[in-house]
Amino acid sequence: MGTKTISIKDDAYERLKRHKRDNESFSDVVMRLTQGEKDPMEAAGKYPGLGDKRDEFRDRFDRDSRGRRDLRQ
C-alpha cells in the first residue's frame, strides 16, 4: 500500500488529533472514522415510523454532541 502527503488546516489537524487513540496512526484514525460511511439515502424508507421521532432524536444527538465537545476542551 502506498502513501500520500496531504495538507490540512491547523484546526482540522487538531480535530483529527483529538480522535487519535494511543498507538494509532493518523491513517488509522481516518480509516476508523470513515469505515461506516454509506449513502444515508440507501436506508430511506426502511424504518417506518422513524421519521416521527426525528426531531426528538436530533435534539438529543445535538445535546450529547455538545456535551462530548465540552469534555474535550
Burial 45-73 (b: 16+ CB within 10 A, else e): eeeeeeeeeeeeeeeeeeeeeeeeeeeee
State the pLDDT at residue 7. Answer: 94
* Per-residue pLDDT reduced to its tens digit, 21-60: 999 999 999 988 888 767 766 666 676 776 677 778 888 8
State the pLDDT at residue 55. Answer: 79
Residue of 40, 66, 67 lying closest to 51 (CA atoms): 40
State the pLDDT at residue 69. Answer: 65
pTM for the whole thing? 0.48
Number of CB atoms found within 10 A of residue 29's CB: 16
Amino acid at 49: G
